[in-house]
Chain A
C-alpha cells in the first residue's frame, strides 16, 4: 500500500512570496508544492504527498491554536497516514510553526509526524518532545540531506518499525529513555569506557547528564532594611503530618505554608518530608533546614524589612528536573506577585 502524507510549508517555500506575504491564511493544495517534490522522490513509491498545506509565518504565529485546529482537520479530511512539516532550517517563526503543527497533528489525530530543524532553531527546543525533529542545516542548502532523513523516519513510523537512537536516525533527542540489552554487563562497559577515557580515545556515555540553563546574577539588594525576604527549601520542611503529601522522593508537588506569627519551628509542629537522608535532626528542629528562628530575630532587629509570611517547600530527592523547573517557575511567579525582594533557598 502507498501511505498518504500531508506536507506543511510556509509561503516562502510555496513560492508565494517572502516577508510581504507572511500574513497569508492557511490554504490547502492537492499534491506536492515546492520541497514536497523531493519528499515524494525520497518516499520511493512507498508513500505519496497527497496534499500540501501552506500558511504565512506571521499568520501562524498570531493564530497558533486556530490554525493548528484548521490544519489538523484538513489532514484528517485527506485521510493521511503521516504528516511532515518543513524543513524549517533556522527560520524562527517557520521552525516554531513546523514543531507546533507536528505536535498538534500528532496529538489530535494520533498519526506519525516529523519535521527537520537546525538544532538552535527555537522550535526544536520547544517541540522536540512531541515530534521527531531531524537535525537540519541552518539554511535551505541542507535540503538534500534533511528530506531523505525525514522521509525515512516517517516511513519507519508509519510501518510501525522500531525507531533507532537519535544518532542512528538523525533526530534531536526527545529526552526518552529506553531499555537496551547488551552483551556485556554494565560494570564491564563502564571499565571499557574508563579505559578509553584514560587513553584519551573518544567514548560515548550511555546516560547523558542533564544540561542546566544559566541565569544572569540578579543585582544586589540595595537596602536590606526594607527588603522582603522569603524562604524556599528543597529540604522538605512541612507542617507536622505533611498535609499536602509531598513525596519523600521524586516529588510531584510543592507546598506553600503560612508562618505568620511562627517564631520558631518546633518539634512536633514541623518536620521534614524528605527521604534519603537521616531525618532525625530536621524533625528535632526544622530550623536546622529552614532558619525561621534566626530570621525572626533578624527581622526584629530591623536588619531586614520583613520575612515573607509564606514559605515554599519541596523534596529534592530524585525529583525530576522537569518537575523542579515547573515548581520553580510557579514559586517564582507567586513570590514576585507578593513583592518579595530576595529568596534564601536552602538545600539538604
Chain B
C-alpha cells in the first residue's frame, strides 16, 4: 500500500510505510488554480510516483520526496 496524503506527520504516526506527500488537504491530487490540463499532469506525476513507490523495496517508513 502507498499512502498519498498532505499531512505527512499523520501518515507517519499512523504507520504508513510508503508515503507520497500531496498538494493540499481539500485537493490532495489536484490544484484548482491550474488549468485542467496542467492539473491532470500534476495528478499523473503524483500517481506515477505512487506506482514507483510500490515498486521500491523499503525496510522502514519511507517518504518519497520529489527528488527521489
Contact = CB atoms under 8 A, between A and B. Distances in A.
Most chain A CB inside 10 Å of its own CB: which residue of B14, B16, B48: B14
A318 to B, nearest CB: 13
Given A221-B55, A345-B2, A347-B11, A288 B17 contact: no
A344 B22 CA distance: 13
Nearest to A345: B3
Given A217-B59, A281-B27, A212 B51 contact: no
Interface residues of A, number: 41
A291 B43 CA distance: 7
Given A293-B40, A348-B25, A281 B30 contact: yes
Interface size class of B (residues with CB under 8 A): 35 or more
A344 B54 CA distance: 9
A220 B1 contact: no
Interface in B42-60: 43-44, 46-48, 50-51, 54-60
Contacts of B60: 217
B58 A294 contact: no
Contacts of A294: 40, 43-44, 47
Interface stretch (A137-145, A186-194, A295-303): A295-303
A217 B26 contact: no
A291 B29 CA distance: 7
A287 B48 CA distance: 15
A342 B54 contact: yes
Interface string A312-348: 0000000000000000000000000000001111111
A302 to B, nearest CB: 12
Contacts of A281: 26-27, 30, 32
A145 B4 CA distance: 49
Given A221-B54, A298-B51, A347 B5 contact: yes
A213 interface: yes
Contact of B30 (A224, A288, A295): A288
Interface in B15-33: 15-18, 22, 25-30, 32
Interface in A205-222: 212-221
Contacts of A221: 54-55
Nearest to B36: A285
Given A217-B59, A220-B55, A347 B26 contact: no
A24 interface: no
A111 to B, nearest CB: 38
B54 A224 contact: yes
Given A213-B15, A217-B17, A348 B28 contact: yes
A277 interface: yes
Contacts of A303: 51
Given A212-B14, A215-B17, A217-B18, A235 B28 contact: yes
A280 interface: yes
B13 interface: yes
A286 to B, nearest CB: 10
B2 A217 contact: no
A298 to B, nearest CB: 7
Contacts of A252: none
A278 interface: yes
A284 interface: yes
A105 interface: no
A90 B2 CA distance: 37
B57 A347 contact: no
A227 B53 CA distance: 14
Contacts of B39: 288
Given A235-B28, A291-B46, 11 more contacts: A213-B15, A215-B17, A217-B59, A220-B55, A224-B51, A281-B26, A288-B30, A289-B30, A290-B29, A342-B2, A346-B4
Interface of A: 212-221, 224, 227, 229, 235, 277-282, 284-285, 287-291, 293-295, 297-298, 303-304, 342-348
